[in-house]
Amino acid sequence: MNVNKKKLHLKRSIIASIPVIITILILVIFVAVDKSKLSTREINTNENIAKSNFIAEPTAESDNFVLNFIDNVLDNRERENTIIYYAEKYHLDSKKALDIAQNITNNFQSELFVKNHIIGPESIMESEGSFKNEEAGIVYFVRDLFRRPQTYGVTEAEITNNIEVEREKKYENGTIILQSGLTYEQFLGHICDMYDMDKNVVLAISYLESGYLKSFLATNKNNFGGQRSGGVWLEYPTPEAGIIGHVMTIRAILNSYEIDLTQPNAISNLSAVYVYGNPNKPSESWTSKVTYLTEQNKTKELFLHE
C-alpha cells in the first residue's frame, strides 16, 4: 500500500512552508498575549532599528520542532484513519472504536502501544507478543473489539453500526475486486505480511475451502476458510473482514500447535488440526491439494510488492 509514499510527498510539501508556519505560530502567540502586560519600548539612539529582531529568524532548533510536530500530526492522522478503515470493514461505529483506542492507549502514548503496538489489555502481549507494526496491532484490536466487545467496556449493540452482511461482490478474472480496488489476493497477502505468514499457503487454503471464492459460504457469508464455531458456520460483514478472519484463524492454529510453515511437514501437521481438530490425524488428501495450490500460487503475480 502506498501510504509511506503519500506521507513522504505530503511531508515535503509541508516542509517547504515551514517559514510561513513559524511566522503564523509566532503571530498567534503574540495576539494571545495579555495586552495589559505590553509596554512600549524606547529605541536607543545608538541602536540600529534594522537589526532589532522583533520576530526571531527560523533556526535549526525551531525547524526540528516544526518537523516533529508535523510528523506527530501525520502519524496520528494515519493511525486514526487506519482504525476507522478497519472498523468500517467490521461494521463497527468507527468513532466509538477510535475513542476506545485513544482511551486505552492514552492517545497512543502508552508504553504498551509505543513499544509493542498493542491496543488493549496487557494479557494480549502474553498471548500474542509484540506486533510487527502499528497496523498489525490495529487490525488485531478491531477484530477483537468485534468478537469480544465486552472486553472493551461496550456491548455488541453499542459498538455495531450495521448488522447487514455485504453479499454483492465484483468478480473479475476469477477473483474478487474489493472496494479499495485491491484484489482478494492482494489484500490477503498484505494481512499475511503483517503477521509474517506464508501468503501462498494461506491463499491456497482459502482457494480449496471456498471453491476458488465461489462457494455458498464465500459468496453469502464472506467465509473463505470454511470456519465454524460451536457447530455454526461463521459469518463476516464484509469480504475484508472475512479475509482477516481466515488469516487470523490459521495464525492462531500455527501459534497454538507451534507449527512452522517453513518446515517440510508443516502443511500435513496443519491439516490434522484444520480438518479433524486432531493433531495426530493428518489428512493426506487436504495436504496434497493445498501443497499443489501453494506451488501454483508461487508461479503467479498475485500479491502487492511491499
Per-domain boundaries in the chain: 65-163, 170-298
- Among 3.40.640.10, 3.30.420.10, 3.40.50.970, 1.10.530.10, what is the CATH number of 170-298? 1.10.530.10
Q: Is residue 296 scored above 90 in pLDDT?
A: yes
Residue 41 to residue 38: CA distance in whole angstroms: 9
Q: Is residue 97 scored above 70 in pLDDT?
A: yes
- From the list 72, 77, 68, the residue with the least C-alpha distance to 98 is 77
Name every residue whose Cβ is closer than 8 Å to that of residue 280 and which is 6 or more positions away in sequence.
272
Q: Is residue 177 scored above 90 in pLDDT?
A: yes
The pLDDT assigned to 224 comes to: 98
Q: Is residue 204 scored above 50 in pLDDT?
A: yes
Which stretch of 11-15, 61-65, 75-79, 298-302 has the lowest confidence by average pLDDT? Answer: 11-15
Q: Choose between 21 and 29: higher pLDDT.
A: 21
CB 130 within 8 A of CB 118: yes
Q: Is residue 191 scored above 70 in pLDDT?
A: yes
> How confident is the model over 183-192, as a mean pLDDT?
98
Q: Choose between 126 and 56: higher pLDDT.
A: 126
Which stretch of 27-31, 87-91, 128-132 has the lowest confidence by average pLDDT? Answer: 27-31
C-alpha cell at 124: 494480549
The pLDDT assigned to 75 comes to: 81
The pLDDT assigned to 98 comes to: 98
